Amino acid sequence: METAREESAQGSEDDAAQEDATSVADVSVEVATVDATLNKLCRRYNRRRRRAKKIKKKNPILDLQNLAILITVVVFVIVVIMWSLLWVFIFRRESNSGVYFAGMFRVANVEFIPEYRHADSSEFVSMANRIQHVITSVYRTSSVSRLYKQTVISDLSNNNQGGVLVHFWMIFVVPHLKGPSVCEDCVSAILKDSVHMSLKNRSSVGFLQGLPVDIDSILVNVALRSDYSSTAVGSQCVDKLYAGVPDVSIPLNVFSSWGGLSCYIKLTSAPGSVIRLTVKSFRIDPSDCVYDALTVYDSLLPMRGMILFRFCEPVSAPISLVSTSNVMLLSFRLTQGNKIFQGLFQALMEEQCMNMIALPAGPGDAGVITSPFNPSLLPRQCSCTWMFQMPSSALGVALRFQNYMLKLKDLQNCEHGWWKVNEIIYCGNYVDHSTVFRIPAQNPEVVFRCSSRSAAQPFSATYSSYNTSQPCPEGHFLCSTGLCVEKFRRCDGLDDCQDESDEIFCSKPPKICESSSPLHPLYICNGEMDCSSGKDEINCTQETSCSGVSYQCGNGACILKKNAKCDGLPDCYDRSDEKDCACGNPTPSKRVSDSAATQQRIVGGINALEGEWPWQVSMHFSGQLYCGASALSDEWLISAAHCFSKERLADPRMWMAHLGMLNQGNAKHVAEIRRFVVHEYYNARNFDYDIALVQLKKAWPSSLAQYIQPICLPAPSQTFTEGHRCWVTGWGYRSEQDKVLPTVLQKAEVSIISQSECKRSYGAISPRMLCAGVPSGEQDACRGDSGGPLSCQAHSGGRWFLTGIVSWGSGCGRPNLPGVYTRVAKFIDWIQRHIQNL
């Protein structure tokens, strides 16, 4: 089974993640109030007592008054203390035991009136009371009747499908030690079962105790108590805006320069329209939405299942997104500081996306098709149909996408677009290169439907006609990506097809050193003496045309030398190849003894030395080793995307980075995490684009340079021939069956394997992956090593480069099934863009 090499976090997650924790500050305020009252009354009594002593007269009336005051004070203090204890231990406990749900459904066959938009109108109150009574009746007679507390109708909105869309809160009281828990699916099922019993004639509308409800519209999500209190009627930080006229822009501006802010803006528009939100500028501190965030919901309540998009980073260029109906909720969470949001929203009338396209017979691009609402992000739900008409049965339609590709649908759902082309289903995926999809039919019908859980990147494609009997021009090779490249480019060492289909399964080019004809580009200036005469390694600083196998200098010029970066020789005219080379040069301690080095083995590994791999980082989730990482600078680490891509793993507050560590538990520096940057095209199904950046909250001190040092990033042209020896390191398991992690950092030597052999082993290998291992499988990475480095030297004694990131594999240490690594050289521009801009 192909698995990511990650270590499952141990222990269950805290149940308090689903509700707010008890506030110690709230309790201390009550206690302080009692103490203050008691002290105040005691001081008053003591002053009167002192005055009585000064008079030195025994007045029985005054003694009775003092006694009455004393008794009153004692009784008052006892009452206050009892009430405080009652509130803290009973009422407060009941409040903390509350489980909150946000939900919505459509009431059909009911006419929406404008007064429903105002919660203080008698019409709203009347309808809300009716719906509330119905929901209460359903749950009072259900299996959770003892736990049900109340329902609160938050909003009534018009709906593009007709009727009234109801947004509501439900509250259950679940004592921590008594009664069963209330699950999200259970609460939703109670509503659906009540409606399902009355469905007739395949209609989706049934009756909820006489209330016509669309069963397909029922959605219930667990929510936080803070969300409920923040959006409740009468809240001071909830604003409602209405767009009644299509295409009229309504400005939105939010400023938070005087402290923290947590507010909501509810947007609605006229029936038959959708809402387009445009974010022009958003100044926040990037923190993975933990502190500063703008969350956009496809509803009027903060429901997890209706999240349209989350802004977790500053926005400089405008971004727009579209709702699926005529409602939208903006949830702002801004911490202290000068935080600014500027944007606008407008109503857009719904349009049928259906196009008839007639193509000319001649060559060349004929036009462009785009995703709905382009250049806005794709909504969660949408549909578009294009019907092409060709002038001849010998012609088909070619769609050239810029950052998108179509593949036949398998047993899994389509996560980035569902396509039907002449009754055949395809799934869309985002990539960072062009692809061509050909339809060999005269009059094809192409249907597209949105299928992402949230707003997705838009796409566009140029369409043209092509000869179905000869897709590519004469003298060209047809790539698996649909691109056409010249035949002479096959097996030239360059990935012209963008998926290596022109480079795999090529016979190794001969080394013709004695001939006057030039050597194959693979052998020229690759750092190895392929010809005894050395002719392949001369004139390597000579400028050449820029390509994937040439090194590009800082001034834009390219030279023949492939591994010129940080090799100790200034090869570029501007000497840019030797800049930023304070990396990859460890100073390990001396080995204690050979026997100590072989005490613990991790799939053929041995103990590392102190300071031998100073860029190695151990990433701990909830206090346990989960993944590895590599240091790129004093602020940034690099790891695998699959370590942080799941929702429960995306919270940086749950992670700690242990740097400068040989033995687990003895790190020289432990750092909190500020944020993760997971590659936007990461594919959890095949681990393509499996790369992520990790930003530390605080840089590690320079005094620890002996133990903590960044590893060098390779140049995009970096190349290592098959068999080149590299090292993989980590604290992962020693075998597939092992259940005990080693305490000492392990290292194992592995060899680079050709892409052809890699594809023979696994099949689905992208150009952004590489394989490394040994034929016997005895040296390999395993679970717990994910995200760690595959470190390589271009030559003995040179600097170490981060050639790969531990990504996935079939088991651990299996023969002829090497480890699969993320090819770092393919992501240099992506890495530098994020590190320099953030």
Place of tokens 């995200």: 787
Catalytic, 188? Answer: no
Instruction: Reply yes or no: is the peptide bond before residue 444 cis, omega within 30 of 0.
Output: no
Determine contact, residues 694/658, Cβ cutoff 8 Å: no
Determine contact, residues 148/135, Cβ cutoff 8 Å: no
Kind of pairing, strands 624-631 and 205-208? unpaired
> DSSP letter string over 51-79?
HHHHHT---HHHHHHHHHHHHHHHHHHHH
Place of tokens 């993640």: 17
Q: How far apart are CA 730 and CA 627, in angstroms?
A: 9
Place of tokens 């942080």: 644
Q: 656: burial class by Cβ within 10 Å (0-12, 13-18, 19+)?
A: middle
Determine contact, residues 366/355, Cβ cutoff 8 Å: no
Q: How far apart are CA 494 and CA 521, in angstroms?
A: 9
Closest CA to 711 of 787, 785, 630: 630
The DSSP call for residue 171 is E
Question: How far, CA to CA in Å, does 100 sit from each of 132, 147, 272, 331?
Answer: 16, 12, 32, 18
Q: Which residue(s) pair with 101 in the sheet?
A: 170, 222
Question: How far, CA to CA in Å, does 51 sit from each of 45, 46, 55, 60, 403?
Answer: 10, 9, 7, 15, 89
The catalytically annotated residue of 288, 536, 634, 690 is 690
The catalytically annotated residue of 642, 658, 669, 724 is 642
Closest CA to 431 of 482, 357, 383: 482
Structure tokens at 383: 């549909």
Q: How far apart are CA 299 and CA 267, in angstroms?
A: 9
Catalytic, 193? Answer: no
Catalytic, 642? Answer: yes
Q: Which residue(s) pair with 229 in the sheet?
A: none
Return all residues near 352 (Cβ < 8 A) that are at least 6 apart. none
Place of tokens 């977790």: 312
Q: Amino acid identity of 408?
A: L
The catalytically annotated residue of 630, 786, 791, 807 is 786
Catalytic residues: 642, 690, 786
